Amino acid sequence: MNRSVVLPFLLFAGLSLAPFGNHVIADEQPLFGYSAASSRTERQWEEKLRAIPSPENLRAYMQRLSAQPHHVGSTYDKNNADWIASKFKEFGLDTHIEQFDVLFPTPKERVVELVEGGPKFTAKLQEPALSQDLTSNQQTEQLPTYNAYSIDGDVTAPLVYVNYGIPEDYEQLDRMGISVQGKIVIARYYHSWRGIKPKVAAEHGAVGCLIYSDPHEDGFVHGETFPAGPFRPPDGVQRGSVADMPFYPGDPLTPGVGATKDAKRLKIEEAATITKIPVLPISYADAQPLLAALTGRVAPEGWRGGLGITYHVGPGPAKVHLKVKSNWEIKPVYDVIGKIQGFTFPDEWVIRGNHHDGWVNGAEDPISGMVAVLEEARALGELVKSGWKPKRTIIYCAWDGEEPGLLGSTEWAEAHYEELRAHGVAYINSDSNGRGYLEVEGSHTLEKLTNDIAREIADPETKLTVWKRHQLHAIADAKTTEQREEIRKRADLRIPALGSGSDYTAFLQHDGVASLNIGFGGEDEGGIYHSIYDDFYWFTHFSDTDFVYGRALAQTGGTAVMRLADADLLPFEFGNFAETVQTYLKELKALSQKMQDDIRERNREIEEGVFKATNDPKKPLIPPAVETVPPHLNFAPLENAVDVLTRSAAEYHKALEVTNANGGVALAADSIAEVNKMLMDSERKLTNAAGLPNRPWFRHQLYAPGFYTGYAVKTMPAVREAIELKQWKQADEAIVVVAQVLQDEAALIASAAQKLGQAR
């Protein structure tokens, strides 16, 4: 699971709705996408659903699923898959396990030593078992601490501290006159997905990379460490994948196709997502002697961590020996797939998933979310047994191999690409779950749906609806009066777009299936992520200890699935969507303007002698070079496309209003099916076959993880990243491409509106 900061709901200017809590009015209005009659029935079934999930069950599931390490290839991984399948079947789902065979390296040799420039030191690379935490001693089953898909290597070189190891840090190193060419870098976790760190280091000529958890972000700075408190103990290590997933996720040997037994595979040497240099993650206890042995420049203010030492950049005199060697084996991943067949539109699929594999015992990541999804499946099974007949087919999935690289979900979404393009209504993902606020990210066409559902769920701590709690939290967090006023006045809270970090990636960004990622969080702090301490003991002492947020997640996910599965007309909404796309365009124009202004200003300062005048001879900095001021880009195609999109969204809204005025959706079945098909296609239309420049696997033209952020989204990525990388020609070209995608989308929405109008 993605552990970068999860952005919560933002607010939105959308359709006006009855204010929160005014349930009488809300009850009288048909649900969005429902006729008056089907709305009444739906409400009754949904209320039944929400009464079912039980915290006791969630606790029992977690204890069972996290009892042993269950990473890809482990005995307990298969055991869990079989158990989940048996539960799905018990709940009444039509269940099978789908196997893929993927490249999954596990460590054979790992060495980190300080060989020169300080007291000889060999890193422990081992998390100690704790007597009170019974599963922490399962050392024979535990995977050692490592970064999966690090290339093998054996290097000895001076060390350089590179802060977070992101591109801006290398700009700062350049100013300081420090090169990492031929060096081993040590970067701290955070401020990018971990795989970015070795990627950028290699681009700058480094020969090896260490990544450590600094207590400033993850450790004693935040509070008591485990087992006294929830935070990362000195020897705790964050394992994790470093495959170049922003290039393509999934099995490195089978990009774009399912890793079935007989799939055509690349050779390992051909796999572009394996790192270029060896990488290992280390604890802060292991990092401290290495960092303390650096001298040279004192680290700039923003680079200093929480260890009680002076942070230096180096290079050296610390010289480090880093050795990584893996078993490069093909391993099975087991996706558990359980279906409830739709009664009216069986070829329209609502898909819900969470992964089941963990790095070790994985109680929080992913079991805290997986148990809620499991309990949802049980609840839906109960409803079916009580006579509920969902209109659409519902598919519950428990993915394997998410941790190493979204393997199970990606291979499945690649193997079933054509079916998903034909049948996929939406994919709803969860991953880890904790205490706090409902956090929703995803396709903006589903923003209204998620707001509607959030108004139905009670927050366990405050008894407010999770929507209201979230709105009040957004008010507290708002930076400006304007933001606060928007949050107060607009009907819907905004949802941020999806980047990457969990199993929605292939569905949304490769297949073009509208996707959501949902979970609770914001009050759950800790430091056991991807360590042996992420286990039942930790979770039941420090997180959602009574599983009430697990229950809330099952209620939320279950309601969302039902609302989509039972709707007459799919609850896609384009007003929110078009308005948000408008804001992205504004951001891009502002970004482009800012780059011009910044470069112009910096050139002027270079000419004025600002950099020379402010250069402290005791801490010299190399002045930046004069740069050509960026050209003006032609945003007109996008501006026109967004205008057309806004008009189409308004037409669709109008058509819907007329329909509603006539007593809710009441169209002829085949007309409805036709409109629904268009609505399903509305996300597909946002992709194109060519994909993003230089990374064709990513086909979505509105949302992608940043090539240099890994998790964090870049909206209109082809345009935005071209601007960020100062590729002006490519930016102008990308504007045309994205504009065309939006024009096509607008045409589709206009057709749906017209169809809806005709159908009355």
User: What residues line the site for a copy of itself (CB under 8 A)?
Assistant: 215, 220-225, 298, 304, 306-310, 435-436, 461-462, 464, 468-469, 472-473, 475-476, 481, 484, 523, 597, 601, 605, 608-618
Nearest-10 Cα torsion for 404, 407, 408, 413: 150
Shortest Cβ 582–a copy of itself spacing (Å): 26
Shortest Cβ 591–a copy of itself spacing (Å): 16
* Rounded Cα gap, residues 225 and 202, in angstroms: 33
* Rounded Cα gap, residues 703 and 687, in angstroms: 9
Shortest Cβ 681–a copy of itself spacing (Å): 39
Shortest Cβ 284–a copy of itself spacing (Å): 10
Question: Residue 304 or residue 321: which is nearer to a copy of itself going by CB?
Answer: 304
Helix (H, G, I), strand (E, B) or coil at 591: helix
* Rounded Cα gap, residues 364 and 529, in angstroms: 8
* Rounded Cα gap, residues 235 and 213, in angstroms: 10
Which sign does the torsion angle of CA 728, 733, 736, 737 carry?
negative
Instruction: Output the six-digit token pair for 605.
Output: 């300062």
Question: Residue 223 or residue 631: which is nearer to a copy of itself going by CB?
Answer: 223
Question: Residue 47 or residue 523: which is nearer to a copy of itself going by CB?
Answer: 523
Q: Cis omega (within 30 of 0) on the bond before 317?
A: yes
Shortest Cβ 295–a copy of itself spacing (Å): 9
Question: Residue 378 or residue 435: which is nearer to a copy of itself going by CB?
Answer: 435
Shortest Cβ 472–a copy of itself spacing (Å): 4
Q: Compute φ and ψ for 112, nearest 5 degrees.
A: -135, 120
Q: Compute φ and ψ for 404, nearest 5 degrees.
A: -70, -25
Question: Residue 292 or residue 756: which is nearer to a copy of itself going by CB?
Answer: 292
Question: Residue 355 or residue 602: which is nearer to a copy of itself going by CB?
Answer: 602
* Rounded Cα gap, residues 711 and 358, in angstroms: 19
Shortest Cβ 480–a copy of itself spacing (Å): 11
**Of the candidates 128, 148, 141, 2, the residue with the CA atom closest to the CA atom of residue 80:** 141
Whether 333 contacts 408, CB under 8 Å:
yes
With 0-12 CB in 10 A as exposed, 13-18 as middle and 19+ as buried, what is 354?
A: buried
Instruction: Output the six-digit token pair for 427.
Output: 């994919």
Question: Residue 27 or residue 461: which is nearer to a copy of itself going by CB?
Answer: 461
Amino acid at position 501, single letter:
G
Shortest Cβ 563–a copy of itself spacing (Å): 25
Question: Residue 8 or residue 424: which is nearer to a copy of itself going by CB?
Answer: 8
Question: Residue 92 or residue 522: which is nearer to a copy of itself going by CB?
Answer: 522
Maximum distance among all alpha carbons in the chain? 82
Shortest Cβ 264–a copy of itself spacing (Å): 52
Question: Residue 225 or residue 743: which is nearer to a copy of itself going by CB?
Answer: 225
Amino acid at position 517, single letter:
N
Q: Compute φ and ψ for 712, nearest 5 degrees.
A: -65, 135
Shortest Cβ 619–a copy of itself spacing (Å): 8
* Rounded Cα gap, residues 146 and 107, in angstroms: 7
Shortest Cβ 306–a copy of itself spacing (Å): 7
* Rounded Cα gap, residues 364 and 230, in angstroms: 12
**Of the candidates 631, 629, 633, 632, the residue with the CA atom closest to the CA atom of residue 602:** 629
Residues 6+ apart with CB under 8 A from 71: 77, 143, 357, 358, 359, 360, 403
Question: Residue 87 or residue 470: which is nearer to a copy of itself going by CB?
Answer: 470
DSSP letters along 372-420, please?
A: HHHHHHHHHHHHHHTT---SEEEEEEEES-HHHHSHHHHHHHHHTHHHH
**Of the candidates 505, 531, 247, 497, the residue with the CA atom closest to the CA atom of residue 353:** 505
* Rounded Cα gap, residues 266 and 288, in angstroms: 40
Question: Residue 308 or residue 387: which is nearer to a copy of itself going by CB?
Answer: 308
Shortest Cβ 31–a copy of itself spacing (Å): 26
**Of the candidates 582, 577, 683, 682, the residue with the CA atom closest to the CA atom of residue 640:** 582
Shortest Cβ 473–a copy of itself spacing (Å): 5
Shortest Cβ 244–a copy of itself spacing (Å): 33
- Could you identify the residue written with the tokens 């740069």? 627
Query: How does DSSP classify residue 136?
Result: G
Question: Residue 6 or residue 692: which is nearer to a copy of itself going by CB?
Answer: 6
Question: Residue 267 or residue 618: which is nearer to a copy of itself going by CB?
Answer: 618
